[in-house]
Copies of this chain bind each other. A is one copy, B any other.
Amino acid sequence: MKRMPVRAGRPTIIDVATEAGVSRQTVSRVVTNHPRVAPATRVRVEKAIATLGYRPNRMARALVTQTSLTFGFAAIDMRDPHFGDTCFGMQVAAREHGYYLVVTELDFDDDRGLGTLETLLTLGVDGVALFPSILSDSDIEQFAASCGCPVVMIGRASKVPNVVSIAMDENAAAELVVDHLVERGKKRIGILMNEIFPEVVHQRYVALREAISNGTAVATAAVEAGYPRIAQGRIAATTFLQRGPDLDALIGFNDTMAMGALLACDDLGLRVPQDVAIVGYDGIPFGALTNPPLTTIVQDSIGMADAAFRSLLSCLEHGPPPEGKVLLWEPELLIRGSS
């Protein structure tokens, strides 16, 4: 398979040096803003750069400096607005600091995504921010130990050595949700969750069960394989409601699943919130438009993304936290029509 030469004809530092009549090192100094360059020379070099349209090759630079100004960002499905918003937040922060993001979807078939992460490393990223999803804490620990760059995980609060973990306070969130539902007179609360996120689900599930056990309501769980998109949530909720013990409230693992539940209620002729109250997690913007609008636990995706970026930067400067570090975010309950 022959290929046309890629990036053909892009001028190199040598071309600029020749054009400006200096050595490549001088050009390098100009490009990297080194102070020891005579003003006249600097001008000459800058003119040559402009003339030739020169842009330094960041791969070559990275090879020498061992720094690519590139971070990896990995999540299970960017189509989910929660991940998308987080990705956006990291983009914004990255741009501000001259960084680029290599974005990748974690592929379950590929050793739970570890293979994809490993390959990501070969691109020379300076750090990795990821939603652990299906990866366990020990997976993450092992990855962080061998990858040779800072690792930040978003969405699960775990003290993993050398890893910064950014997550919402699940206990506070669960309390907000359950208190709210109990206040609304709901007694039989179902938890609509997905077994493919054992650890996240576990944290959220445990928190919810605990919160519920303080009240009078009954908890149950429904699970459904496959990434939780609207359709999956609809199927899971339908099954759940049909065989469930007369549920009067449903808590979705995320807004997308909760939206599926909204559709399921519609399918089954159940009124929301009178017959079944529905609450989601994440606070994606589209939740404001559903019928009825979705009550949800709002996560500050952009803020968390920004923190993730800053944490990576900080790890690069001061090293990663040896015993791990957890940044906890306060949840906010946004009450709308669905509850």
Interface residues of A (CB under 8 A from B): 1-10, 53, 55-60, 62-63, 66-68, 70, 77-79, 81, 84-85, 87-88, 91-92, 95, 100-105, 107, 116, 118-124, 126, 146-149, 229-230, 259, 262-263, 285-286, 288-292, 315-319
Contacts of A290 in B (CB 8 A): 289-291
Cβ 8 A contact of A100, one of B123, B148, B292: B123
What separation, in Å, do the CA atoms of A319 and B100 have in the docked complex?
27
Contacts of A57 in B (CB 8 A): 63, 122, 124
User: Shortest Cβ distance from A68 into chain B, in angstroms?
Assistant: 7
15 contacts between A and B (CB under 8 A): A4-B318, A6-B67, A6-B68, A6-B149, A10-B121, A55-B118, A58-B124, A59-B59, A70-B123, A77-B88, A79-B85, A95-B107, A100-B120, A259-B286, A291-B292
* Smallest Cβ-Cβ distance to A66: which chain B residue: B6
* Smallest Cβ-Cβ distance to A318: which chain B residue: B4
B66–A5 CB distance below 8 A: yes
Q: A57-B124, A66-B6, A100-B119 are in contact. Are A289 and B263 (CB under 8 A)?
A: yes
User: Shortest Cβ distance from A107 into chain B, in angstroms?
Assistant: 6
User: Shortest Cβ distance from A184 into chain B, in angstroms?
Assistant: 21
Instruction: Enumerate the 3 nearest inter-chain pairs by beta-carbon distance, A residue then B residue, closest first.
Output: A291-B291, A286-B286, A103-B103
A91–B105 CB distance below 8 A: yes
B53–A121 CB distance below 8 A: no
Cβ 8 A contact of A289, one of B77, B81, B103, B230: B230
A4–B316 CB distance below 8 A: yes
Given contacts A78-B88, A91-B104, A230-B285, 14 further A-B contacts (CB under 8 A): A3-B316, A6-B316, A8-B148, A10-B148, A59-B59, A59-B62, A59-B63, A59-B124, A78-B78, A78-B87, A81-B84, A230-B286, A290-B290, A291-B292
